[in-house]
C-alpha cells in the first residue's frame, strides 16, 4: 500500500498524535489498510477520524438525506397536488421521475442555478418550435417535450420547497445547501482535514477542499503519475492537471504527489478470450505464475459483476479470499421467483380465467419448498405435462395446488397491501426451511424490502397498483447486493474497479476489459442533451471516461504484473471490442505487451462415442427382450444403438414436456388417431360411396375424439400454429378418404378388415434347429382387401423412401444394417407376421406405406427387385443376431449435421 504508507509517514512526521487529523477518503475501503499500516508502524495513540467526502458534506449541510422509494413517493404526492397535465398515475410517474431526479441532482451539484437550467431546457424546446404550428394534438413528440419542461419548471421548485420545509434533501440539494455554508465552516472549524487520493470533485467538494487549504486547515494528497499527468492527450490526468492550477498550490504548499511509477518495468499480458465466462477459466493458469501463493498482494478486478459466481468456482484452491464487491440480488433464483410472482399478478389482472403454464412453473421451481410442497409440485407438473395443458383453468389449479403452503400467493391479490403482508409472512416461513446461507440472506433482504415499502407507502392515500409495486421491487432487486464478510488483509482480493481506489497491488488481474465496460462509453441515462450539459458544466460521458481512465492507470501504475482479459466474442450489447485503454498502452507506452489468444479454455465433454459392453445383466435383459420384439425396436437400434439400449434395456423414456406448438410426433398421432376413429366405423364392411362421403363431412368430430385421446385441451387448437396444424391434419384425413372414394367410384372392391391390428407371439427362428427364437409383437395400422389382395398398410408422417428391395447373396447379411432402409425393414416384418397369422393364410399379400406428407399418392407398395421375403428375413435375422451378440458393444452413432 505504497500511497497510503507515504500519507501516514507524512502525517506522523507532522504530528505523532494522529487524532488531530480528520482523514477524508473517496470510500471506506482503505480505512482497514490504514489501521494495518499504523499497527506496522507501532503506533499506539488514538486513531484519526475517518470520513467519506459525502459524509463530510452531509454534516456541513445538516439536512436529512432522502433517496430512493421515499423521495419517489413524496415527489408523486407533490406532483398530484399540482394537477399538471398529463395527470400520470404512480406507475407512469416512475417511468420518468428517477431519470429526472438524477438529472436534477446533477444540475444542483454542478451548475450555479437549477432554475436557470430548467428554464433553458424549456426555452430551447420553444425555440425549436418557434415557426411551427404545433396544432392541437398532444401526442406530437415536440409538444410533449415542451409540455414536459414547462411542467418541470413548476414541479421541481415546489418539490424543493416542500422538501426544505421538512428539512429533507436529495443528494443535489445537500450539495446546494452545503455550498452556502462552506466558507463559515472552513473559517470556524477547529479541525484539520486530510484529503487522500481524490481525482474528480464536484464544484461544492472543490470549494470545500480549497477553502480548508486557504485557512490552512486542510492538506491534499493526490496520487498521479507523470505518464498521464504530463501528456495533455491523456484523459486520465485531466482532473489532476486542473487541480494543479489551483492558486492554493504555490511555493509554500506543493502539489503532492506526481510519481514516475508507470514507466517502471512491468510484465503486461493481454488475453483475447472467446467467451465471457471463459475468462474465469484462465484464472488458475494465471495464479500459477504468481510466486507468492498466499496471493496477499494480488487483486482480481471484475468489471462485470455477473462473473463473480464463475470466478469463485475456479478459485476453490485459493485458501484465503476477500470479496469486496457485493453479490447482485438479481442473479439469485429467489429474486427471479419474486419477479415472476409480480408478473403473474399483472397477468391475472388481464386474464382472470386461466394461468399460462410458463407463468406458474418458474415460481414453483425457484421458490424454496418443504418436502410436502415438493410432492404436491411434482404431481402437479406431471399431470399438466401428461395432458399438455398450456392454459390452466382456475378450477384445475385449485384442484391440483390448493394444498400448497403458499397457494394464496398464486391467487389474484385483493390489494397491494394485502399482498405485501402475504409476502412478508411467506419470507418468515421460508427461513425455517433448510436453505443455504446465501438464500437465507436473499430472503431476508426481500422481507426487509417488503416491510420498508409497506411502511413508506402507508402515509400516502393514492393507490399503488400491482404494476407499480413490481417496479418498486425490481428497482430494489437491481440495486441491492449481498455483502460478503472476509479478511481484507489476507489472501486474494476480489473487487470492482471503484473498490481499488487508494489501494495498490503487485499483481493485477482485470476481467472484461471491453469497450462498454471500461470505460462505460456514451450510455448516460439522461433527459439533458450533451451540448446543454457542456454549457452548464454538468458531467458528460467524456468526464466519466476520464474518471475511468484515471482508475485504470492509477491501479496499474504501481503494479509489476498486469493481466488484462477481454471477451472477443460479439453477443448482445457486447461488441467483442477490447477497451481503448488497452490500445492506448499498446500504442503509447514503452512497455512490451505480450498478446495471448485463448480460443477455448475447456476440453469438450466427450471426444469418443459412448460405448456400452454387454455385461451379464445386459445379456439377461436381451433374453427377456427376445420374447417381445417389435419392428420399431429394430429401427431404433439402426438409428442409434444407444437409444435402443436406453429404452429397451434400461427401460427409460423421455420426460413429458408441454408443447405450445404441436410436435411432429403428436401431429402424426393426431392424424393417426383420427384415421383410426374414422375407419373403426367401417371395419368389416365393403366400402360404399355414401359411407365415405358421410365420413368426409364428419371429419371434425373424429378429430375431436383424437384430441381427447391425446389428452389435449380443445382450446389448444383454437388459434396460432396449432389451428393451422389441425387444419392440415383435416386436409390429410380428407385426402386419405378421397383416395379410397376414388377407388370405390372406379369400381374397385375395397373392404376394411382390421384397424390397429394387434399381433404377438409370432415366432421367428434364429438357428437351423429352431431352438433359438424371438417373438414379434406390434400393431398394424390398417389391413384391408382390395380386389381380393390383402393390403397391410403402415401410416407414416415422413415421406416415403427406399421401398424397392434389392437383396442378393452378396449383400443379404448387411442389407438391413442400414438406417436408410428402416421403412422397408418394417414392412418386411409385417409381411412375415401376416403370412404366419392363421386368418390370412393363403391370401395374396401386398405391404405398403401411406405417407401423410404425400397423402394423395395413396399406398406406395414394397417392391422386390431382387430377392424375396425369405431373403429379407435372413437379413433381419443378421441384424437381430448383431444386437444379441455378446462380443459386440452398443456404440453410439454420432450424427453429423
Return the HEC string of 674-712. Answer: HHHHHHHCCCCCECCHHHHHHHHHCHHHHHHHHHHHCCC
DSSP 648: I
By CB neighbour count within 10 A (0-12 exposed, 13-18 middle, 19+ buried), where does 461 fall?
exposed
Question: Is the Cβ–Cβ distance between 6 and 222 less than 8 Å?
Answer: no
What residues does 169 pair with on adjacent strands? 65
Torsion angle in degrees (nearest 10) through CA of 384, 390, 394, 397: 20
Torsion angle in degrees (nearest 10) through CA of 325, 331, 332, 336: 150
The 3 state secondary structure assigned to 94-135 is HHHHHHHHHHHHHHHHHCCCHHHHHHHHHHHHHHHCCCCCCC
Separation CA 79–CA 88 (nearest Å): 9
Task: Give how far Cα 532 sits from Cα of 19, 99, 120, Å.
Answer: 45, 16, 9
pLDDT-derived band at 485, boundaries 50, 70, 90: low
The region, left, alpha or beta by phi > 0 then psi within -120 to 50, assigned to residue 140 is: beta
Separation CA 580–CA 570 (nearest Å): 16
Buried b (16+ CB within 10 A) or exposed e, 594-620: eeeebeebeeeeeeeeeebebeeebee
Sole residue written with cell 418386411: 828
Residue 352 reports pLDDT greater than 80: no
Sheet holding 492-495, edge to edge: 321-323, 492-495, 298-302, 507-511, 561-567, 267-273, 593-598
711 vs 644, residue with greater confidence: 644
Give Dmax (Cα) for the chain: 122
Residue 895 reports pLDDT greater than 70: no
pLDDT-derived band at 621, boundaries 50, 70, 90: very high
pLDDT of residue 889: 92
Question: Is the Cβ–Cβ distance between 368 and 437 less than 8 Å?
Answer: no
CB under 8 Å to 481, separation ≥6 — which residues? 305, 325, 326, 327, 328, 329
Reading the block at residue 172, the C-alpha cell is 443535489
pLDDT of residue 131: 47
Could you tell me which of 75, 79, 24 has the C-alpha nearest to residue 54? Answer: 24
Predicted TM-score (pTM) of the model is 0.72
Could you tell me which of 491, 156, 159 has the C-alpha nearest to residue 324? Answer: 491
CB under 8 Å to 211, separation ≥6 — which residues? 182, 183, 185, 186, 218
Separation CA 795–CA 797 (nearest Å): 7
Question: Is the Cβ–Cβ distance between 536 and 129 less than 8 Å?
Answer: no
pLDDT of residue 223: 92
Length of the chain counted residue by residue: 897
Task: Give how far Cα 429 sits from Cα of 345, 367, 434, 443, Å.
Answer: 21, 12, 11, 10
pLDDT digits (tens, 9 = 90+) for 824-875: 999 999 999 999 888 888 889 999 999 999 999 999 999 999 889 999 999 9
Buried b (16+ CB within 10 A) or exposed e, 156-181: beebbeebeeeebbbbbbbbbbbbee
pLDDT-derived band at 517, boundaries 50, 70, 90: confident
Q: Does 630 sit behind a cis peptide bond, omega within 30 degrees of 0 on the bond before it?
A: no
pLDDT digits (tens, 9 = 90+) for 140-179: 666 778 888 888 999 999 999 999 999 999 999 999 999 9
Q: To which H or E segment does residue 324 belong?
A: none
Separation CA 797–CA 667 (nearest Å): 8
- When pLDDT is averaged across residues 756-784 and rounded to a whole number, the result is 89
Question: Is the Cβ–Cβ distance between 892 and 610 less than 8 Å?
Answer: yes
CB under 8 Å to 888, separation ≥6 — which residues? 614, 882
Separation CA 499–CA 29 (nearest Å): 7
- When pLDDT is averaged across residues 694-705 and rounded to a whole number, the result is 91
To the nearest 10 degrees (0 to 180), the angle between helices 90-110 and 68-81 is 110
Residue 351 reports pLDDT greater than 90: no
Task: Give how far Cα 717 sits from Cα of 391, 708, 722, 726, 847, Å.
Answer: 12, 12, 5, 7, 34
873 three-state secondary structure: helix
11 vs 437, residue with greater confidence: 11
- When pLDDT is averaged across residues 493-516 and rounded to a whole number, the result is 90
- When pLDDT is averaged across residues 26-52 and rounded to a whole number, the result is 87
Give the phi and the psi of residue 88 in degrees, each rounded to 5: -65, 145
- When pLDDT is averaged across residues 776-790 and rounded to a whole number, the result is 93
Residue 660: how many CB atoms within 10 A of its CB? 14
Give the phi and the psi of residue 806 in degrees, each rounded to 5: -130, 85
| Strand 804-806 with 863-866, pairing | parallel
Could you tell me which of 670, 673, 676, 664 has the C-alpha nearest to residue 726? Answer: 670
Residue 305 reports pLDDT greater than 50: yes
pLDDT digits (tens, 9 = 90+) for 175-202: 999 999 999 999 999 999 999 999 999 9
pLDDT digits (tens, 9 = 90+) for 791-835: 999 999 988 888 898 998 888 888 888 888 899 999 999 999 999
Sole residue written with cell 470466478: 311
Sign of CA dihedral 298, 303, 305, 309: negative
Average pLDDT, the chain: 87
Question: Is the Cβ–Cβ distance between 264 and 227 less than 8 Å?
Answer: no
Give the phi and the psi of residue 761 in degrees, each rounded to 5: 60, 35
Amino acid at each position: 500500500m505504497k500511497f497510503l504508507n507515504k500519507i501516514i509517514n507524512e502525517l506522523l512526521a507532522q504530528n505523532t498524535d494522529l487524532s488531530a487529523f480528520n482523514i477524508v477518503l473517496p470510500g471506506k475501503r482503505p480505512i482497514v489498510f490504514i489501521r494495518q499500516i499504523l499497527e506496522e508502524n507501532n503506533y499506539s495513540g488514538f486513531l484519526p477520524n475517518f470520513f467519506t467526502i459525502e459524509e463530510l458534506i452531509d454534516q456541513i449541510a445538516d439536512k436529512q438525506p432522502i433517496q430512493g422509494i421515499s423521495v419517489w413517493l413524496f415527489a408523486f404526492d407533490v406532483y398530484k397536488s399540482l394537477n399538471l397535465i398529463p395527470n400520470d398515475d404512480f406507475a407512469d410517474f416512475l417511468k420518468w421521475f428517477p431519470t429526472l431526479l438524477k438529472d436534477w441532482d446533477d444540475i444542483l451539484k454542478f451548475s450555479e442555478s437549477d432554475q436557470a437550467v430548467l428554464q433553458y431546457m424549456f426555452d430551447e424546446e420553444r425555440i425549436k418550435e418557434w415557426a411551427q404550428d404545433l396544432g392541437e394534438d398532444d401526442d406530437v413528440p415536440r409538444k410533449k417535450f415542451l409540455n414536459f419542461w414547462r411542467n418541470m419548471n413548476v414541479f421541481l421548485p415546489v418539490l424543493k420547497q416542500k422538501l426544505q420545509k421538512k428539512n429533507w434533501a436529495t443528494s443535489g440539494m445537500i450539495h446546494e445547501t452545503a455550498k452556502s455554508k462552506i466558507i463559515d465552516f472552513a473559517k470556524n472549524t477547529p479541525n484539520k482535514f486530510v484529503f487522500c487520493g481524490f481525482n474528480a470533485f464536484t464544484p461544492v467538494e472543490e470549494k470545500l477542499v480549497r477553502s480548508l487549504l486557504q485557512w490552512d486547515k486542510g492538506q491534499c494528497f493526490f496520487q498521479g503519475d507523470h505518464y498521464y499527468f504530463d501528456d495533455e492527450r491523456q484523459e486520465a490526468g485531466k482532473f489532476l492537471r486542473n487541480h494543479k492550477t489551483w492558486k492554493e498550490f504555490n511555493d509554500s504548499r506543493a502539489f503532492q504527489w506526481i510519481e514516475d511509477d508507470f514507466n517502471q518495468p512491468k510484465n503486461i499480458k493481454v488475453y483475447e478470450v472467446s467467451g465471457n465466462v471463459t475468462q474465469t477459466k484462465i484464472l488458475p493458469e494465471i495464479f500459477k505464475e504468481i510466486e507468492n501463493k498466499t496471493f496477499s498482494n494480488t487483486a482480481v478486478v471484475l468489471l462485470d459483476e455477473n462473473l463473480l459466481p464463475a470466478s469463485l468456482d475456479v478459485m476453490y484452491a485459493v485458501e484465503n479470499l476477500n470479496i469486496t464487491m457485493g453479490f447482485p440480488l438479481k442473479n439469485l433464483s429467489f429474486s427471479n421467483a419474486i419477479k415472476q410472482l409480480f408478473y403473474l399478478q399483472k397477468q391475472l389482472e388481464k386474464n382472470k380465467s386461466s394461468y399460462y403454464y410458463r407463468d406458474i412453473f418458474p415460481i414453483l421451481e425457484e421458490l424454496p419448498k418443504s418436502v410436502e410442497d415438493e410432492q404436491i409440485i411434482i404431481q402437479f407438473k406431471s399431470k399438466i405435462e401428461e395432458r399438455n395443458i398450456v392454459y390452466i383453468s382456475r378450477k384445475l389449479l385449485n384442484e391440483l395446488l390448493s394444498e400448497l403452503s403458499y397457494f394464496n400467493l398464486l391467487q389474484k391479490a385483493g390489494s397491494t397491501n394485502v399482498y405485501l403482508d402475504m409476502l412478508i409472512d411467506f419470507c418468515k416461513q421460508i427461513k425455517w426451511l433448510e436453505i443455504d446461507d446465501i438464500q437465507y440472506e436473499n430472503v431476508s433482504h426481500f422481507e426487509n424490502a417488503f416491510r420498508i415499502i409497506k411502511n413508506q407507502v402507508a402515509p400516502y392515500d393514492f393507490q399503488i397498483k400491482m404494476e407499480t409495486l413490481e417496479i418498486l421491487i425490481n428497482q430494489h432487486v437491481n440495486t441491492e447486493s449481498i455483502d460478503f464478510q472476509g479478511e481484507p488483509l489476507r489472501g486474494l482480493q476480489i473487487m470492482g474497479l471503484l473498490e481499488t481506489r487508494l489501494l495498490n497491488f503487485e499483481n493485477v488481474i482485470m476481467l472484461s476489459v471491453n469497450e462498454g465496460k471500461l470505460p462505460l462509453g456514451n450510455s448516460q441515462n439522461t433527459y439533458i442533451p450533451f451540448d446543454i450539459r457542456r454549457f452548464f458544466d454538468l458531467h458528460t460521458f467524456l468526464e466519466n471516461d476520464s474518471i475511468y481512465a484515471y482508475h485504470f492507470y492509477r491501479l496499474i501504475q504501481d503494479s509489476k504484473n498486469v493481466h488484462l482479459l477481454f471477451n472477443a466474442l460479439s453477443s448482445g450489447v457486447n461488441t467483442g471490442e477490447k477497451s481503448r485503454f488497452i490500445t492506448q498502452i499498446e500504442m503509447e507506452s514503452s512497455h512490451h505487451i505480450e498478446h495471448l489468444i485463448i480460443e477455448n479454455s475447456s476440453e469438450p465433454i466427450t471426444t469418443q462415442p459412448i460405448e456400452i459392453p454387454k455385461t451379464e445383466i445386459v445379456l439377461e435383459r436381451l433374453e427377456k427382450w427376445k420374447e417381445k420384439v417389435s419392428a420399431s425396436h429394430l429401427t431404433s437400434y439402426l438409428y442409434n444403438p444407444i437409444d435402443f439400449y436406453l429404452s429397451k434395456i434400461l427401460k427409460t423414456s423421455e420426460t413429458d414436456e408441454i408443447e405450445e406448438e404441436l410436435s411432429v410426433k403428436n401431429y402424426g398421432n393426431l392424424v393417426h388417431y383420427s384415421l383410426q376413429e374414422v375407419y373403426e366405423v367401417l371395419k368389416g364392411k365393403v366400402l360404399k360411396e355414401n359411407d365415405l362421403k358421410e365420413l368426409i363431412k364428419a371429419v371434425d368430430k373424429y378429430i375431436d375424439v383424437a384430441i381427447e385421446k391425446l389428452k389435449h385441451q380443445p382450446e389448444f387448437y383454437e388459434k396460432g400454429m396449432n389451428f393451422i396444424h389441425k387444419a392440415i391434419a383435416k386436409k390429410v384425413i380428407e385426402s386419405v378418404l378421397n383416395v379410397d372414394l376414388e377407388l370405390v367410384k372406379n369400381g374397385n372392391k375395397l373392404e376394411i378388415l382390421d384397424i390397429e391390428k394387434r399381433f404377438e407371439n409370432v415366432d421367428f427362428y434364429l438357428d437351423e434347429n429352431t431352438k433359438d427364437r424371438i417373438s414379434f409383437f406390434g400393431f398394424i395400422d390398417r389391413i384391408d382387401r382390395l380386389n381380393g389382395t390383402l393390403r397391410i398398410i403402415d401410416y407414416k408422417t415422413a415421406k416415403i423412401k427406399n421401398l424397392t428391395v434389392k437383396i442378393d447373396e452378396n449383400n443379404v447379411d448387411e442389407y438391413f444394417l442400414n438406417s436408410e432402409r428402416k421403412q422397408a425393414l418394417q414392412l418386411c416384418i409385417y409381411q412375415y407376421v401376416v403370412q404366419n397369422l392363421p386368418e390370412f393364410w393363403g391370401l395374396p399379400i401386398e405391404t405398403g406405406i401411406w405417407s401423410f406428407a404425400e397423402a394423395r399418392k395413396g399406398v406406395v407398395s414394397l417392391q422386390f427387385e431382387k430377392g424375396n421375403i425369405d431373403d429379407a428375413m435372413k437379413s433381419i435375422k443378421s441384424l437381430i443376431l448383431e444386437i444379441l451378440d455378446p462380443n459386440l458393444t452398443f456404440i453410439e452413432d454420432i450424427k453429423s449435421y
